Structures are given as structure tokens and as C-alpha cells.
Amino acid sequence: MDSREFKDFVYGEFARIGKTLSSPKRIELLDLLTQGPKSVELLALETKMGTANTSKHLQALLDAELVSFSKEKNYVIYELAGDEVMQLVLALRRTAEERIADINIVRNDFILKNNDFDSIRLKDLAEKIKEGSLTLLDVRPIDEYAADHLPSAVSMPLSEIETRLDSLPKDKEVVAYCRGPYCVYATEAVELLRARGYRASLLEAGVNEWKQMEG
């Protein structure tokens, strides 16, 4: 192997990762897996794809060694192949945010309802928790909360909020968070809480962003 063959091989392997990430659905699958291991069926439900199509995309990610899998009874469980894959997903998002202005415009309109919602930043959260002036809700599915969550967060999946309102004190601000700045669960939770008379805000971050700040 001469120097040209060496470079062609190396950059070809780099390009293989890039080619795998050229599918929006595969990036979404990786983003979901940053929250913890998930079955094919759960991933299909979240991405609104059929199980067969989801499996096809997961196989492509597996071929690129971006994910790994295990079997639990009748289920195949996928997870990220390592922390560097997590960092790749987050770096891809940050780069897009910096280079493509429309992403931030659309997010502001859809997630923050054109700034109609009050929002809170991670760096301000710790002080508010210390003051005891808020209730922090993790509105993700319970399996994601079990995998990891923010300190002091109470697990209250979006589907359960309506039936558990009595457990929330109305004299405190309620702050909801989900999978990160592009997750709609927290937006829907804040809408519901505000409609029921609660002073509710949205945390513009999730567990991964908190880990990065702490690290």
C-alpha cells in the first residue's frame, strides 16, 4: 500500500460514516438512542416508520458501527456504540445550528411558540432548585428517566400529566424538560399546564446538555 492508497482507504472509511448519516431518519434514530437503549418497536413508534423500515435503517447504522444491539426475550434492543457516537450526534447538531439560521428560526416558532413561552437556561436552573422555587418535571417516557435524569427531577411522562395534576403545587413554577432543545414533549406539557392554571416554563435543554455543562 502506497501513500495514495492509504489516504484513499482512510478517507473512504470517513466517507462511509458520512454516507450513513445522510438519512434524516438515521440521524433521528441516533438522537433517540442518546436517551438510552430502545427496542426496534419503540424506535419505529417514535419515528413513525414501519418496523421493517426501521430495522433497515438500524442495519445501516450497525454496518457503520455506530450502534450495537442485544436481545432480550423476543425484543432486539439497540444502543449507541460508544460515547464518541453521542458526541458526533451533538456536534452535528451544534454545527447545523451555527451554520443554518433557519433551524433556530423554526425551532423558536415551533418549540417556544414564537417566544410566547417562558424558558429557562440550564445555568439558571441550579439556583432556582436550591431556592426551592420550582418543580422540575421530566416528561420523557419512564425508561428514559430510569436511564438518566436531571437532579431533583420528578418523572411525569406527558401521557400522565393530566391525571397527576393534583400532585403539583400551584404556588411554585413548574419547569418541564424532555430530550433536549428539539423535543416537543416539553412544549406540549407546558401548553397543558398553562391551560390548567399553572405557571409553567420550558427548560431549553435535556440530560445530554446537562452532562456537557457538568463535564
The side-by-side arrangement of strands in the sheet containing 75-80 is 38-39, 75-80, 67-72
183 annotated active-site: no
Pairing of strands 154-155, 200-203: unpaired
Set 58, 85, 175, 178: catalytic member = 178
Between vectors from CA 176 to CA 86 and to CA 142, what angle results, nearest 5°?
60
Q: What is the CB neighbour count within 10 angstroms for residue 167?
A: 10
Residue 206, burial from CB neighbour count under 10 angstroms (0-12, 13-18, 19+): buried
The DSSP line for 49-83 is --HHHHHHHHHHHHHTTSEEEEEETTEEEEEES-H
**CA dist., res. 68 & res. 61, Å (int):** 9
Radius of gyration of the chain (CA): 19
Q: Catalytic site residues?
A: 178
